[in-house]
Amino acid sequence: MEITPPKKSAKVLDTVMKPSYVPIEERHASYWRKDAATTLKSKLKEKMNTGKAKNGILFIGDGMSLATVMAARTYAGQMEKALGEETSLSFEEFPVCGLAKVSHRAFSAFAERSAIRDTCNA
C-alpha cells in the first residue's frame, strides 16, 4: 500500500476535514467495489447458527454514542499506524450483534428493567 506524503496546510480545518495521507488505491471506486464484494461473499459463506442459545450476554455501554464509538475506532486504528476508519473494535466482531439507541440514561435504565420504552422522547 503506497501512502502519499502529508502536505503542509495553511488552515487547521484542512487537516481535520481532508486527511493528507490517503492510500492511492483507496482513491478509486473500483477499490471500494472490490472490497464490498469480498466482504459480501465472506458474509454469505457463513452458516447461520440455528441452535438454541444456552447463555446470553447483555452488553450495555453507557456514553457510547455512534460518534463516540467511531472516534474510538479511528483512534485505535491511528495508534496502529493506519487511517483508523477500517479498524474494528473487539465488540464489533461479535458473531451476533444488535443496536438499541435510547435517548437518555434514565430512560435506558427504565427500558432495561421493565422491557418498556417510555414515550416521553426526552
Give the domain range for residue 21.
1-43
Is there a domain that residue 18 lies in?
yes
Is there a domain that residue 115 lies in?
no
Dihedral pair phi/psi, residue 23, rounded to 5°: -55, 140
Strand partners, 92: none
pLDDT in the model for residue 102: 64
Which residues participate in the annotated binding site for Zn(2+)? Answer: 62
C-beta neighbour count of 70 within 10 angstroms: 13
pLDDT in the model for residue 43: 87
Per the structure, how many domains does the chain have?
1
Is there a domain that residue 3 lies in?
yes
Is there a domain that residue 116 lies in?
no
Cell 473494535 sits at which residue? 89
Q: Write out the chain's pLDDT in tens, 122 residues.
A: 555 555 555 454 444 555 556 677 878 899 989 999 999 999 899 888 888 888 888 777 777 888 888 899 888 888 888 777 788 888 888 877 777 766 676 776 777 777 665 555 55
- The grid coordinates listed for 113 are 428493567
Is there a domain that residue 103 lies in?
no
What is the DSSP track for 57-113?
-----TT--HHHHHHHHHHHHHHTTS-STT---GGGG-SS------SSHHHHHHHHH
Is there a domain that residue 58 lies in?
no
Is there a domain that residue 16 lies in?
yes
pTM, two decimal places? 0.53
Is there a domain that residue 60 lies in?
no
Which residues participate in the annotated binding site? Answer: 62
Which residues participate in the annotated binding site for Mg(2+)? Answer: 62
pLDDT in the model for residue 30: 93
